Structure 1
């Protein structure tokens, strides 16, 4: 193995470790948020049913938690290669057209996710400026928008990295 091969192998391993760590962090965070939402919802329902005493603001907390779970799910789907694709017509086309269509769809997805990240960041700033809050607990919507922005931006970057890797390998 020459120095160049060693460099590429070491670089690939570092890249793989970095992505694996990101995946583990996202899975752990998403799982924690999902379980907290689940316990909150079940606890609220049980307290409401048996003691006529629901958890004050449970819906507000669930609303914030849901934005976190969805935002974490986006980059996880990209990392796992589990994006939704309806490719019935493309599979019937010649292979060169299939490859071009995949590039086009990936490029448009990157643009769409980057746009969502940008708009969510602007919405976060507006929510902070105007004091947009949840109904009962008066929790600011800004953190939810920031999490959506971060999840969309991370997904766009991961898709771009994936597209570049595929381009280099072809």
Structure 2
């Protein structure tokens, strides 16, 4: 039975159902960001080469879009289980040792991502307070820091969720 059938029947959705609600919009937004950077870079290069008319501020736009793409990729890596992976060493351990190590690594990763989110949030506030901007277009840089803070915070929450899944 699919998750849609479970929802319509009033039964709880499986554990993977909530993952799709997070993963699908992140993947779509990440794809849009990557395609925007691609079209911007290719368009800038073509216009520069063919007509000697580059896109004004293309690097500024790319800088902001790239920071958003990176912040989107962080939680997607957690959902894919590819944040910290040393499969060679873990495969040599017994199943009884793998579980505590998985929990410890998930918790350590959550702490690191939470710290990164906190520092990015502080940097965003300072960037906003000092009106830090990109060079040409004067786009505010606090957007990049806020995006990184949000992506890191979501990653920390997902890592905590993963550590709880390892416990049960």
TM-score bracket, shorter-length normalisation: 0.7 to 0.9
Contact 2:99 2:166 in 1 (8 A): no
What is aligned with 2:147?
Answer: 147
Inter-partner Cα distance in structure 1 for 2:93 and 2:19: 33
Inter-partner Cα distance in structure 2 for 1:17 and 1:92: 32
The alpha-carbon deviation at position 14 of structure 1 amounts to 6.6
In structure 1, the gaps of 5 or more residues are 1-5
Seen in structure 2, the aligned counterparts of structure 1 residues 90 and 15 have a Cα distance that, compared at 3 Å, is closer
Total equivalences in the alignment = 160
Contact 2:133 2:139 in 1 (8 A): yes
The alpha-carbon deviation at position 88 of structure 1 amounts to 2.9
In structure 2, the gaps of 5 or more residues are 1-5
What is aligned with 1:10?
Answer: 11
Seen in structure 2, the aligned counterparts of structure 1 residues 136 and 110 have a Cα distance that, compared at 3 Å, is same
Inter-partner Cα distance in structure 2 for 1:93 and 1:80: 22
Moved more, 13-22 or 62-71: 13-22
What is aligned with 1:101?
Answer: 101
What is aligned with 1:67?
Answer: 67
Contact 2:33 2:68 in 1 (8 A): yes
Matches within 5 A, 1:122-161: 122-161=122-161
Inter-partner Cα distance in structure 2 for 1:42 and 1:66: 15
Inter-partner Cα distance in structure 2 for 1:16 and 1:143: 31
